[in-house]
Structure 1
């Protein structure tokens, strides 16, 4: 029995704009509005406006919220300052990654009911919610599913600070990267976060679903003079790929630990809580030791010498054998060439390693090995 995809609060707006819609993680989402290349270039050079309302917001509150989150997640949540955010992960007992997350600290830990907002990927939101709910047993903390409480808009690109400043009185100059503050944007109450998934400066705005259309219209009007255009999920993927940002289900999976993915830095074995015990600790300690003594495959960038496009699952080859696998691949509008992210043997991971190719339907296409990211914005 098929289930109709969920609609965001901006569904009517997307359809009025003629967006190509797609089913993504159970949501009907805009893939593109016109040319995905034009949308990509707009975000790199001017600004793009995204609907990200499919993301999963989970509120955690209560006297033991910090101790609970330190137990449930691999990061040191207690060290997050009020109004700041942190990239972290939730892992299974065997150390496998269930999802990568952003956690916002919304109130003082000394408050009667300190609050945190955990933002999960759309495809894993229910998995994360279920895991947090199960792990909350024994803690004086509440886990609340707030996915229906928010719409999420993102304005990304070099013009985004000016666009947002024109419709808010919030102190954006004082808002650091990976931070969030409550404010009013175009008369709409919002949590304004300086985060993103494009490699550009930008902001994500958490608002009530009923305010989403008003905010979208105000941002489009404010941004039109400087080239802001609507942007869909397709260009969001090529933007994050150029920026070397991992995507769950591609670079991150339940079969990999953070150390396997080269992201062991997010695992904190010492935490600011009553106990340093957390789910997956033993397995992750073993993974950390393995990574030091026998480095796993490394995540690298690949740039095509030709025009054929690599896709996830294609084999990376060298010396007549398979040395790795592509996790993500696409044409790069910024570089003007096909690019890929791949896990490869450590012996072939150094930038400039010769003789590396990708098996594209039986033909070994030559690729240059480079360090990630492919693109890094000028500060």
Structure 2
């Protein structure tokens, strides 16, 4: 059996009694106290997550921008040394190889932050499509990453850093920030639907920064709360809501696609979907009776015809309701439309609702 990879904070989890699970080949905490307590801490106060398992890939060279414009869906010319961008990497069929965030560190040098389980796949994809004048390096082992999220995140971080972060907007970032005596990149971003920051540090500094944040009263949170928070915010999870066979348009992530920038991998398929409309699309569901809609549960219409399947589902800690994202026939995606989710032996009625499910 392959040994699980560990982040620099692994020993700290064990010391603090966290429940650790296998997540994409990594030993990570699913919870420290309880998923609900951690979820509420982020919605009402401030919590933090170890996201050091995320992959980091450097793309640099005189042709770096041209290359990234071709392998990614968003307009990378909009990325600056203070403003990052969210993008998709798509295949020739328009499916999502991965979703990621792109930072520019220097002229002709970019940092791609990718999903942990896809780091090797992404690195191979990028190297397979590499052009002359570009170098691609997997530097994941050099970075630690901590996400500080919640309505009190700004207040905490403003106390801890000397730079002015009051005007930082979503995906704005500052390099060479000093935090607990360590040099970090501070990005106004996250995966919870709350205001928050992602701290990129040298791997060896991760524990000191985590301990410093603990002393400030920031609540440690695990993957369980991270999943319920992102699902309430209707943020997609790669491998479920977006996959190599689901396009950004089908996943309602069309904002990350800029057709006018020119050619990119999968552009023709995605452009056709944008123009004609896709045959299926992601929709928010709220179950009307007891039951939890789990990934891959089938969804039916009023005529008992299968119309799709659940991509993500949970019981919302914020509302107590059973919520889900489902990929269903476009004709069934109207708000308030009634559908049915096959939960074990029962077809449970559900309503198509607006997303996000929770918004502060």
| TM-score, structure 1 normalization | 0.91
Q: Which residue of 1 aligns with 2:32?
A: 33
Aligned counterparts of 2:337 and 2:67: Cα–Cα separation in 1: 45
SS in 2 for 1:105: strand
1:66 aligns with 2:65: yes
1:143 aligns with 2:175: no
Q: Any idea what the Cα deviations from partners look like across 1:221-246, whole Å, max 9, x if unmatched?
A: 11x2xxx3110001100000000111
Q: More deviation in 278-287 or 67-76?
A: 278-287
2:190 match: secondary structure:
coil
In the alignment, structure 2 segments of 5+ residues that lack a partner are none
Equivalent residue of 1:148, what SS?
helix
Q: Corresponding residue for 1:303?
A: 286
Alignment-derived partner of residue 7 in structure 2:
8
Q: Structure 1 CA distance, aligned partners of 2:194 and 2:231? A: 12
Q: Any idea what SS the aligned residue of 1:130 has? A: helix
What residue in structure 2 maps to residue 241 of structure 1? Answer: 231
In 2, Cα distance between equivalents of 1:347 and 1:281: 24
Number of residue-to-residue matches in the alignment: 358
1:99 paired residue number = 98
1:160 paired residue number:
153
What SS class does the counterpart of residue 288 from structure 1 fall into?
A: helix
Q: Write the distance in 1 (CA, Å) between the matches of 2:62 and 2:87.
A: 22
In structure 1, C-alpha distance between the alignment counterparts of 2:307 and 2:93, rounded to whole Å: 25
Q: Distance in 2 between matches of 1:283 and 1:195?
A: 30
Q: In the aligned structure 2, how far is the partner of 1:304 from the partner of 1:129?
A: 39
Report the 3-state secondary structure (helix = DSSP H, G, I; strand = E; otherwise coil) of the residue aligned with 2:170: coil
Q: Is the 8 A contact 1:84 1:178 kept in 2?
A: yes
Give the conservation status (yes or no) of the 8 Å contact 2:59–2:135: yes
1:318 is aligned to 2:318: no
**In the alignment, which residue of structure 2 is the partner of 1:77?**
76
* Higher mean C-alpha deviation, range 190-199 or range 88-97: 88-97
- Pair 1:221 & 2:220 matched: no
Match of 2:174 among 181, 185, 189: 181
Gaps of 5+ in 1: none
- SS of the residue 2:282 aligns to: strand
Q: Report if the CA contact (8 A) 1:19-1:33 is conserved.
A: yes
1:199 correspondence with 2:180: no
SS in 2 for 1:234: helix
Can you list the C-alpha shifts for 1:188-213, whole angstroms capped at 9, x where unaligned? Answer: 10000110000000000000111111
**What's the C-alpha RMSD, in Å, of the aligned pairs?**
1.4
